[in-house]
Amino acid sequence: MSEKFRTSIGGQALVEGVMMRGPDKVSVVVRKPDGELYVDTHPYVPITKKYKICGLPFIRGIFVFGSSMKVGVSSLMKSAEFVDDSADEEKGKFTQWAERTFGEKTINAIISAVAIVLGVALPIGLFILLPTLLAGLLGQWIGSGIGRSLLEGVLRIAVFVLYLKLVSLMSDMKRVFSYHGAEHKSIHCYEAGEELVPENIRKFPRQHPRCGTSFLFVVMIISILVFSIVRWDNALVRMALRIVLLPVVVSLSYEINSWVGKHDNALTRILRAPGLWLQDMTTCEPDDSMLEVAAKALTEVRPEEEGVDHI
């Protein structure tokens, strides 16, 4: 019996929409306030194909993560443009002056760059540096060595889970999480070889093993192992070492997550279980209009030649 088809197509939930990235295209589909669909599909060349060095094992994870952040932030900003049509009429004087002086494209590029920096800085500060600082404060009762490293790892996972739980309670995020569920369901449906229509898509689970939530959990676990190797009593030095070692953590996590996503056996099911559990907090059941959006985005990036997107 041949192994189940698994696609390399992945996506992201947006504001009233879904972004899908295929082997050679990216599509952003948004449900506009009038109910019509906005569709923006354009060519896309993965950085791992554009530059061979970026595709080398144990290096590619860093570049893939950075590229995904760039595409994700750009897509999110595009979807946010449709939330309030009156936004252009209410722009402040400074924004109007900046756009006249530097051009709207330049301002948007600056905003995207700032968003990417904040998108990287917030997780580093919250999930990497904060647990290190807390472990340092509590470490006086534990001592140095492996005990402090384990405490730091437990705190890191606790902060991560608490963050997801608090975000999931925000009413404004429920629709985004519903689109997240629609994205996963549509990919499951496509991998099962069924037609991408709501009645088929809705029966599939809203959790998917190759979700970004699962990847972040793997990062938490790998960070415990990597950071425990390099120990230092000084809290500031420990925080600096965490940042220096972060590319190693991301690279290893990417390779492990890719391997788990490609195989289905007892070991991989155990490894993916925590990530699927966390997706109970980051996905909600979508309605048919959301499934339609996700199906359209996936259809736009599906390769013409069958099987090209197989991983």
Segment 270-292, tens digit of pLDDT: 989 999 999 999 999 999 999 99
Residue 311's pLDDT is: 85
Is 74 domain-assigned?
yes
Is 309 domain-assigned?
no
Is 172 domain-assigned?
yes
Is 6 domain-assigned?
no
Is 4 domain-assigned?
no
Segment 107-165, tens digit of pLDDT: 566 666 676 677 778 888 888 889 888 887 776 666 666 777 788 889 999 999 999 99
Q: Which domain holds residue 258?
A: 11-301
Is 17 domain-assigned?
yes
Segment 41-55, tens digit of pLDDT: 999 999 999 999 999
Is 311 domain-assigned?
no
Residue 93's pLDDT is: 57
Whether 64 and 48 have beta carbons less than 8 Å apart is answered as yes
Segment 67-106, tens digit of pLDDT: 998 899 899 989 988 875 444 444 555 455 555 565 656 6
Count structural domains, the chain: 1
Residue 277's pLDDT is: 94
Segment 169-200, tens digit of pLDDT: 988 899 999 999 999 999 999 999 999 999 99
Angle between helices 146-168 and 130-138 (to 10 degrees): 130
Is 3 domain-assigned?
no
Residue 151's pLDDT is: 86
